Structures are given as structure tokens and as C-alpha cells.
């Protein structure tokens, strides 16, 4: 049996002594042998010694309180769940994370330099006689969770990248990390170099705020040294998709609060679910920050999880239902696409996704709502200089949204520019949904396809349209646009652009999705420029948008024949 109380007390006292005696300038050279004076000064300016941590094993909450009291420590707040350490213990000991009650608290101590620091105490509850005593014994022998930590001062991507590089240069290797939604902080763990003299095997960099982009690069380096774990995480990625979809299908987010926790049993009654199974689902999603677990079987919704509310602002619930529904099913036939080059969705359902969804009113509505849920990519678009200039034209101007869905984007453009008028071109059943959303005061509706692009407008929008089609169909669409566009009209195209190097991008994932489910593809800026040129258009430039999107600006490059497709009003020619 582990004599947790007495052993925990002696180790905790030693940790307190260490924290009171060290500071950044004295500790960093012990951790990273070989630091020169200039490097040390640079690191000291950017991070400060914040705490030393250890893992203790109380039998219950009162035992933990007794250990703290014997060491003269007072916790400033009740213990909180420790997501990162719980996950590390679960992986290391092949346990289910739900079986590990790991809490964190941070009593304050005063350093010899007068600075306030903390002793970070992780507490794994080990009831007497439980099989967790074996876990405690192994952890006592290895001290894997004992570490020293530095808080990053004024963290930004450049500072974090520089600190990670400096640590790596002196032999500290990535050793995991995570984002803790309970305190909105990002943790980067490093294994100390073999020559380290500090007596700790791990270093933590703690950056206040959400820095999961930098964390992803850090974890990628760590997992490259953990191939079996990396492969397991990749193979279980589909579980996350279905967990989010289940949350959306049951409308769990709508029955939860971001300010107050709710018991899983009471929540199950609200959404007509099995209490135990719902609790398991929520504990799993807590590891991704979708909910937080404030107490056993008590959960609170996060701002991330609130995106799955049905009626919330910016709801992404339709995307969850689409990605976890029809597109999820067709992804199971991805090998067919890779083997034959054919669209898996058509192989599975017997029709392309547009026709399949149009034949089912429920799916048609879901598809249109899921496309509208991508509005975050378009959010800065209404402020684009082309639209702003058109809105300032003294004679008024008109914007045409080609295949504009239910009018989500067009409504934002019109809200931003009261002087603009609009035309929306869409399939007949979608036009009716857009008419209900936008009304008729400033918008005219054309039911048709790409051959029906209205002529004579000032600005044309093609948002997330071209990536649905192969190159030949894209040329046809762009030629229809070119024939309809006056000489000084502008075309704005919103798409994700494939990177020309190996930099990470959402476009790389969407390229696979488009080929498997839709029959289209993502493209580089150069590829779009070639398509535009072949249609008599010229790429002027492109600007970044959120979610790895870009808005490409094109104009007519060659004269086009005059056509009459219900010419719309024109502004005076642009000056300059």
C-alpha cells in the first residue's frame, strides 16, 4: 500500500524549498546547459520562473488538505480538474481518463527575491486498496509529472516560436502539452537535456490564452517521436466527428448553460438521453474543450460548444449534421475515389450531391444552412475595397451573388452598404428561402443556373462555388461571368487556396473532401489565374480571409460580346 500522506508531505516540502530558493536567472542555466550570457538575458526577458510541480496521491480530499497544512501551504481556490495531466496519465498507464480523478491547485510561496511563485500540486485520488495504487507506485518511481515552469510574458506567435527554438537548440525536446479551457492557458512541455543539473526531467512553458496553433506544431514534433500514439490518435479521429454530431443531433448544447453547470442526469431528462451514456459523451468532449467538467457528472458548456446550439449566433450545428451525416457516410468510400478518381458520394448515393440533396427537402435545407454556417470565412468581405468603392458611387451600384445560397453573405453585404442593390442567382427552391430571408426591398431574384448570370452589374460574387467543379466546368462558369460583366465591372471570388509549399492549410483537407464528396477540388492562386485567363478575365490580386480563405479580385481582360439577360443598373465609370 502507498503511504501517500507521509511521502507526499516530504516531497512537497522539498518542492517548496526549491521554489523559494530559485529564480529565472539561476534556474535556466541549470536546466539548459550551454546557455551563453546573451541567450540567458533574452530568455529572462521573455519568461519568468513561475512554479515547480509535483504529483501527489491523497486517499481523499481531507488527506490532501492535511498534506498542504503540514507544509504550511494554503490553496487560494478550490482544486480544479487537470485535463492535461489526466490525459497523460491515461495514455502512460493505458487507463480510461474517466477513471482518473486528477485535480490541480496552486498555493502561493514567496521566493528569496521577493517574487510570488506557486507550488503546483497535481492530486490523483487513490482510494486505499484500489488498483490505482499501482499507478501511484510507478509515478513515484518515475516522477514524470514533476516539472519546473516558466510563464511566458506577453506571448505571441513569434515569441512562442522563438522560445521553442531556443529550448530545442539546447537539447530540450517537445514532451507534450495541451490547452486548458478551465483557465484559458496553453501548456508546452519539454524533456530536459541529459546534462541538466536542476533535478527535474521536464520543463513547462505556460502561455496565458489560447495558442493552439503553436501548440499543434509543438505536439507534431512530440508525436513524431511517438509513432504508435500518433497513429492511435489519428485512427480515432472519426470518433470526435461523431461525438460532436451526436451532441448536435440531441440538441444538448441548447439545453446547457455557459455560466452554470448541470448534472448529467438532469440534462439527460431534458434531451431524452441515457444518463450514463450522455455523461460518457460529455467527459470525452471535455477533453477537447467543448464542455467543462466542474464536478463528477456535472458539466458546463464552453463558448466552443455553444457553436453547436441550434439558434445561437453563428451556429455551426448544420455543419456538424452535414459532416457527421451524408458526407461522413461517403468518406467511408474514400478508397473508391483514390482508386478510380470517381466521386465517392456519387458511387454511394447514385447521384451528385446537388441532385441528391435537392430531391430531399430536409437534406436540401440542411445543405443550404450548412453552407450559410461558413459565414466566418466571409466576415471581412463586406469591407473589401471593391464593395466599398461601389457603395460610394454617386449613381448607385448593384452586386450580383452567383449561386448565393440562402442569402447569408448577401445580407451582410447589404447591411454594411445601404447604398447597394443586389441580385441573387440560385436554384428555384433556394431562391424562395433567400427571398424569405432578404425580402424584396433591395434585392431581385433570378432562378436559374450559371448561364443566367445577369448582365450589366458593378460587382459579381462567386463565393465557394468554383471549388465544386472540375476545370472545364469552372471555365464555363467564368466565361458566363465574363460575358455578363461590363468592361469596368469587378469579380470577387472567395476560395481556400492550396499552399505552394508544405505549410499547413485547411485547403489541403478540403481538397480531399471536395474530390471524395463533391467532385471538385481546391486550387492554388496560380491555378485560378490560369482559369481566369482562359475565360477572358485577369487576376488583379488576392487578400486573405479567416479560416484560410482568400478573396481573389478579377476583371475583364478582353472585350466580350454584348448579351441581354435582364441588364441591371450601372454606376458611373470608376475614376482612376
E strands, 23-168, are 47-56, 80-81, 102-105, 108-110, 116-124, 147-152
Angle formed by the axes of helices 37-46 and 157-169, nearest 10°: 140
Number of CB atoms found within 10 A of residue 526's CB: 12
Q: What is the rounded distance in angstroms from the CA atom of residue 259 to the CA atom of residue 236?
A: 31
Q: Do residues 192 and 205 touch, judged by C-beta distance below 8 A? A: no
Q: What residues form DSSP beta bridges with 202?
A: 191
CA separation (Å) from 247 to 278, 283, 290?
Answer: 9, 12, 10
Q: Please, what sign has the CA dihedral across residues 456, 526, 520, 413?
A: negative
What cell numbers appear for 547 in the block? Answer: 479560416
By C-alpha distance, which of 378, 388, 560 is closest to 484? 560
Catalytic site includes residue 467: yes
Beta-carbon contacts of residue 398 (< 8 Å; ≥ 6 apart): 420, 421, 422, 423, 456, 457, 458, 459, 568, 569, 570, 571
Cα gap 155→168, rounded to integer Å: 18
For the chain, first and last CA: distance in Å? 84
Phi, psi of 426 (to 5 degrees): -155, 175
| Cα–Cα distance for residue pair 49/55, rounded to 1 Å | 19
In the chain, the largest separation of any two C-alpha atoms, in whole Å, equals: 90
- Which is catalytic among the residues 51, 417, 467, 542? 467
Q: How far is CA 111 from CA 55, 116, 119, 416, in A?
A: 21, 6, 11, 55
478, 483, 487, 492 alpha-carbon torsion, rounded to 10°: -30
11 grid coordinates: 516531497
Q: Coil, strand, or helix at residue 186?
A: strand
- Interaxial angle between packed helices 275-286 and 264-271, expressed in degrees from 0 to 180 and rounded to the nearest 10: 110
Cα–Cα separations (whole angstroms), residue 354 to 349, 351, 427, 437, 518: 11, 8, 10, 21, 9
Give me the residue label for grid cell 492549410.
Answer: 505
Would you say 333 and 349 are in contact if contact means Cβ atoms under 8 Å apart?
Answer: no
Q: Check residue 191 and give left, alpha or beta (phi > 0: left; psi -120 to 50: alpha).
A: beta
Q: Which residues are catalytic?
A: 467
Amino acid at each position: 500500500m502507498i503511504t501517500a500522506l507521509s511521502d507526499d508531505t516530504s516531497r512537497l516540502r522539498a518542492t517548496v524549498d526549491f521554489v523559494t530558493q530559485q529564480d529565472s536567472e539561476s534556474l535556466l542555466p541549470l536546466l539548459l546547459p550551454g546557455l551563453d550570457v546573451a541567450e540567458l538575458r533574452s530568455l529572462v526577458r521573455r519568461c519568468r520562473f513561475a512554479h515547480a510541480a509535483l504529483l501527489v496521491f491523497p486517499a481523499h480530499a481531507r488527506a490532501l488538505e492535511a498534506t498542504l497544512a503540514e507544509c504550511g501551504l494554503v490553496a487560494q481556490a478550490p482544486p480544479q480538474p487537470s485535463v492535461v495531466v489526466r490525459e497523460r496519465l491515461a495514455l502512460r498507464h493505458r487507463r480510461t481518463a474517466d477513471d482518473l480523478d486528477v485535480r490541480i491547485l496552486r498555493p502561493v510561496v514567496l521566493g528569496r527575491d521577493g517574487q510570488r511563485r506557486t507550488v503546483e500540486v497535481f492530486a490523483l485520488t487513490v482510494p486505499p486498496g484500489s488498483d490505482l495504487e499501482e499507478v501511484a507506485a510507478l509515478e513515484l518511481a518515475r516522477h514524470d509529472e514533476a516539472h519546473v515552469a516558466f510563464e511566458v510574458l506577453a506571448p505571441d506567435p513569434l515569441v512562442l516560436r522563438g522560445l521553442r527554438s531556443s529550448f530545442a537548440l539546447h537539447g530540450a525536446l517537445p514532451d507534450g502539452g495541451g490547452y486548458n479551457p478551465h483557465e484559458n492557458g496553453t501548456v508546452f512541455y519539454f524533456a530536459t537535456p541529459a546534462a541538466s543539473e536542476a533535478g527535474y526531467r521536464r520543463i513547462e512553458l505556460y502561455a496565458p490564452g489560447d495558442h493552439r496553433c503553436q501548440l499543434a506544431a509543438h505536439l507534431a514534433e512530440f508525436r513524431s517521436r511517438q509513432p504508435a500514439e500518433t497513429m492511435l490518435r489519428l485512427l480515432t479521429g472519426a470518433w470526435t466527428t461523431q461525438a460532436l454530431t451526436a451532441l448536435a443531433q440531441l440538441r444538448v448544447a441548447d439545453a446547457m448553460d455557459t455560466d452554470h453547470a448541470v448534472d448529467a442526469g438532469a440534462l439527460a431528462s431534458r434531451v431524452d438521453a441515457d444518463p450514463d451514456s450522455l455523461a460518457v459523451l460529455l467527459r470525452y468532449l471535455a477533453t477537447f474543450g467543448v464542455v467543462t467538467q466542474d464536478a463528477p457528472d456535472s458539466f458546463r458548456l464552453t463558448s466552443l460548444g455553444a457553436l453547436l446550439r441550434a439558434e445561437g449566433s453563428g451556429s455551426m450545428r448544420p455543419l456538424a449534421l452535414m459532416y457527421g451525416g451524408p458526407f461522413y457516410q461517403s468518406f467511408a468510400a474514400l478508397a473508391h475515389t483514390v482508386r478510380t478518381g470517381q466521386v465517392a458520394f456519387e458511387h454511394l448515393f447514385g447521384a451528385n450531391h446537388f441532385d441528391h440533396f435537392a430531391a430531399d427537402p430536409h437534406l436540401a435545407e440542411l445543405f443550404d444552412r450548412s453552407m450559410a454556417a461558413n459565414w466566418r470565412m466571409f466576415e471581412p468581405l463586406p469591407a473589401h475595397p471593391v464593395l466599398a468603392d461601389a457603395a460610394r458611387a454617386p449613381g448607385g451600384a448593384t452586386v450580383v451573388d452567383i449561386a448565393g445560397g440562402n442569402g447569408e453573405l448577401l445580407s451582410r453585404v447589404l447591411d454594411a452598404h445601404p447604398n447597394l442593390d443586389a441580385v441573387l442567382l440560385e436554384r428555384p427552391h433556394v431562391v424562395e428561402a433567400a427571398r424569405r430571408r432578404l425580402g424584396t426591398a433591395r434585392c431581385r431574384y433570378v432562378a436559374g443556373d450559371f448561364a443566367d448570370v445577369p448582365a450589366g452589374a458593378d460587382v459579381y460574387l462567386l463565393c465557394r462555388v468554383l471549388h465544386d467543379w472540375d476545370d472545364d466546368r469552372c471555365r464555363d462558369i467564368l466565361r458566363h461571368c465574363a460575358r455578363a460583366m461590363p468592361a469596368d465591372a469587378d469579380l470577387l471570388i472567395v476560395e481556400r487556396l492550396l499552399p505552394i509549399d508544405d505549410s499547413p492549410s485547411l485547403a489541403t483537407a478540403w481538397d480531399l473532401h471536395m474530390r471524395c464528396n463533391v467532385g471538385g477540388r481546391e486550387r492554388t492562386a496560380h491555378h485560378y489565374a490560369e482559369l481566369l485567363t482562359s475565360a477572358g478575365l485577369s487576376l488583379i490580386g488576392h487578400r486573405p480571409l479567416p479560416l484560410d480563405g482568400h478573396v481573389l479580385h478579377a476583371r475583364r481582360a478582353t472585350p466580350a460580346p454584348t448579351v441581354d439577360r435582364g441588364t441591371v443598373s450601372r454606376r458611373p465609370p470608376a475614376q482612376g
